[in-house]
A and B are shown apart, each in its own frame.
Chain A
Amino acid sequence: MRKALLLAGLMSGISMVSVNPANAVEIEYWQYIYETRVNAMDQLIENFEAANPDITVKQVTFPYADYQTRIVAANMAGKGPDVMQLFYGWLDKFVAGGLLQPLPQDAFPHDEIESAFFTIVTAMKRDGEYYGLPTAVRSLALFYNKKLFEENGLDPENPPQTLDELVAAGKAIAKFDDAGNMVTEGMTLDMAGQDHQWWREVLVRQFGGVPYEDDYRKVTYDSPEGTEALEFYTGLQMDEKIGQSGFMDEGQAAFRAGKAGMTIDGTFRLGSFSQIEDFDWAVTELPANADGMRSNYSSYFANGIGAKVKGEELEAAEKFLTYLTSPEAMGIWLDVVGELPARRAVALTDENTSNPIYGPFLKGLDYAHTTLFVDEAAQRQVAIDMVNRVILNGQSPADSIKEAAEEEQAIIDDAM
């Protein structure tokens, strides 16, 4: 009898072992290391696995600087991720390199994507196919230090709404020591941070120019309007003296330390600024020009499916991606990372739009532009150099912008 029981137990054990692997699928999800993003993804994976007990998702992370190289190398070795996170600006490279497969239209119908998501997701569309979808999107806003506003006779509940007001507030806050060294910035000036986006997509447009044409394949900021925008930007340091590039190393560091009245930054900075304890800060929309025209830059990391994924892994990857782009996932992402939901309906709730922090970013999304970079680092460098030539070498803004436009056009042409 005992033998029979043992045998039965053994048999069932064998059958368990032999049946389970057939049903259980493991897929790999890759993203770069950023603490809040990794935590949010851990939560999403846990929820997804609870709902889909036959699928296991393994999160693999790499330092940001290595991330692209790892994906490319893994793809060459034939062992890439099933679902991966990618910056929208890398899409051309990734598609040309055969790293991604188009999202299956039955699971992700185009008309549904286009009606439910913010229009900036079209930056993931190539030749009529979507190659990825974001969970969250980012936009820019003006962060300001309420304590410094108060100390300098400004109303902390009434932040600057136009460029002129921005300059006036900056001048009121900026402080210098006896030797003329800046000790407090009115506003951070950091081209290596988000200022290059502010200049390209916001200031150039507000001064009446257009930064690019032909789907971002032709540089057009080399115009009198673009030059005026550059003069305005460099004037903030050279004439108005409200900020100084390189002050406290980075703009965000100066703001965090309470040494800057204002800074332009993105939603992704909310997590790190929320740790500030020495003063209260608030957010407002990027200032409008004199005519009331506003603009913004928005960007996002999307999730795509690896080119070589097929069979049951592909099914699992589809299910996982569907969950990652679901309203529930977007809510979790907003709570943990602070990035705005990519679906309109989830983002534009009364609760969110009236939220003093998310509100200004969400409003910004309405009139935001998404630059289609071919080589983000190189194109950013062009903008940094353009400003440095004016500030450090005394070159005229008109000459500097001409040089920048030629350099950036060469980068775009090279990549095509």
Chain B
Amino acid sequence: MSSQAENTKGAAAGRPEGGGFADRFSMHTKRLVWVWTFLALPVLFYSVIRFYPTLDAFRLSLTDWNLMRPPKFIGFENYAKLFADPDFWQVFKNTFAYLIFGTPISLVLSFTIAFFLDRVRFGHGFIRALYFMPFLTTAAAMAWVWRWFYQPAPIGVINDVLSALGLPQQPFLRSTTQALPSIMVTAIWAGLGFQIIIFMAGLRAIPTTFYEAARIDGLGEWAILRRITLPLLKPTTVFLVVLSSIGFLRIFDQVYNMTTNDPGGPLGTTKPLVLMIYQSAFSSYQMGYAAAQTVVLFLILLVISLLQLWILRDKS
């Protein structure tokens, strides 16, 4: 009896002074606490694995650091050096060439293939698998195979074919004008499978009733494509444009593996920003300088992605 009285008293008296966790907070607060408890893990993960290194790169870009001595603060010297470096502008130009030509070509190509592949009934799965295969292959292995394709006659397949047809041989990777397009072809070919699959998923997601209605209304194939397919594929296209742009801005594997003898191609004509960062950091050990380049790359990626999202935003 006495214990029950105490309990009652405790509970009644407990309220104003604040009792346990369960009693003290409103339903809303409690839910928030739970949400943040569960979010803590990814938040912690992102802070430690992503945000901290990103912010640290900004700090490092203001230092002179060769990994072996402690970093020395030098302000914006690395940036000044970078913008005065003709190599950087060459690399900048190359990187944008990959982006400006690579992204539209790869998207038009993959859309065209996806569009027609969508209609193929015979061996559909097999053909789709063939297109997807390069995407599964290691970039380094692919790059080496293409590197051999591009060799001069005794070992290069493409030049062998050209000679057999009586056409002049092409220098490809050994030329200051052909090297970048040669590598871009490889990169486009390698990423095609992924883009085709995504485009096909987008095409399949458009309800067939739309097409049936259009055909009843007497719309031609071209009008259907322009008025129905392309507008409805917009979310897919936006996704692929952003993803593919980021991919081309960060191109590295193909370039590095196809030109290991002369990294970045003859006179640096194929060198992208990421390869320059790699060389500054892990070959010359100029970590601060490499960090400054990374920051520049980050800003470019950010601006381009935001710009694309803004241009391709849903206006309705």
Contact = CB atoms under 8 A, between A and B. Distances in A.
A93 B283 CA distance: 12
Contacts of B66: 93, 96-97
B169 A181 contact: yes
B135 interface: no
A72 B68 contact: yes
A182 B68 contact: no
A384 interface: yes
A259 interface: yes
B263 interface: yes
Interface stretch (A265-273, A309-317, A385-393): A385-393
Interface in B224-283: 261-263, 266-268, 279, 282-283
Interface stretch (B28-36, B115-123, B152-160, B207-215): B152-160
Nearest to B87: A407
Contacts of B285: 68, 72, 93
A393 B282 contact: no
Contacts of B263: 381
B69 interface: yes
Contacts of A378: 279, 283-284
A99 B178 CA distance: 43
Contacts of A183: 153-154
Interface string A42-83: 000000000000000000000000001100110110000000
Given A96-B69, A98-B68, A393-B176, A177 B153 contact: yes
A323 to B, nearest CB: 29
Contacts of B152: 181-182, 244, 246-248
Interface in A87-142: 93-94, 96-99
Interface of B is mostly: loop
Contacts of A191: 262
Contacts of B266: 388, 392
A240 interface: no
Contacts of A247: 152
A78 B166 CA distance: 63
- Interface-central residue, B166, B171, B174, B175, by most chain A CB under 10 Å: B174
Contacts, number: 84
Interface of B: 66-69, 147-148, 151-155, 163, 166, 168-169, 171, 173-176, 261-263, 266-268, 279, 282-285
A393 B69 CA distance: 40
A385 B87 CA distance: 12
Which 3 residue pairs across A and B have the least CB separation, nearest first? A97-B68, A192-B261, A246-B174
Given A96-B68, A392-B175, A393-B176, A249 B147 contact: yes
Contact of A249 (B153, B261, B267, B268): B261
A385 B268 contact: yes
A26 interface: no
Nearest to A73: B67
A318 B283 CA distance: 30
Contacts of B261: 190, 192, 246, 249-250
A377 interface: yes
Nearest to A190: B261
A384 B163 contact: no
Contacts of A73: 67
A385 B67 contact: no
A69 B282 contact: yes
Given A179-B168, A375-B284, A99 B68 contact: yes
A246 B176 CA distance: 13
A375 B283 contact: yes
A179 B284 contact: no
A299 interface: no
Contacts of A244: 152
B282 A388 contact: no
16 contacts: A75-B68, A96-B66, A96-B68, A179-B168, A181-B152, A181-B163, A183-B153, A249-B151, A249-B261, A257-B154, A377-B283, A378-B279, A384-B262, A385-B267, A392-B266, A392-B267
Contacts of A177: 153, 163
B279 A393 contact: no
A393 B263 CA distance: 18
B163 to A, nearest CB: 6
A64 to B, nearest CB: 12
B68 A93 contact: yes
Interface string A176-203: 0101011100000011100000000000
A325 interface: no
Nearest to A254: B154
A192 B262 contact: yes
A99 B67 CA distance: 11
Nearest to B67: A72
- Interface-central residue, A72, A76, A249, A259, by most chain B CB under 10 Å: A249
Nearest to A99: B68
A94 B175 CA distance: 37
B203 to A, nearest CB: 42
A410 to B, nearest CB: 10
A303 interface: no
Contacts of A31: none
A377 B279 contact: yes
A191 B263 CA distance: 13
Nearest to B264: A381
Interface string A278-293: 0000000000000000
A99 B151 CA distance: 42
A227 interface: no
Contact of B155 (A249, A384, A389, A392): A249
Given A75-B68, A381-B262, A385-B267, 10 more contacts: A69-B282, A72-B67, A183-B154, A192-B261, A249-B148, A249-B261, A378-B283, A388-B176, A388-B267, A392-B174
Nearest to A97: B68
B67 A179 contact: no
Nearest to A246: B174
A363 to B, nearest CB: 29
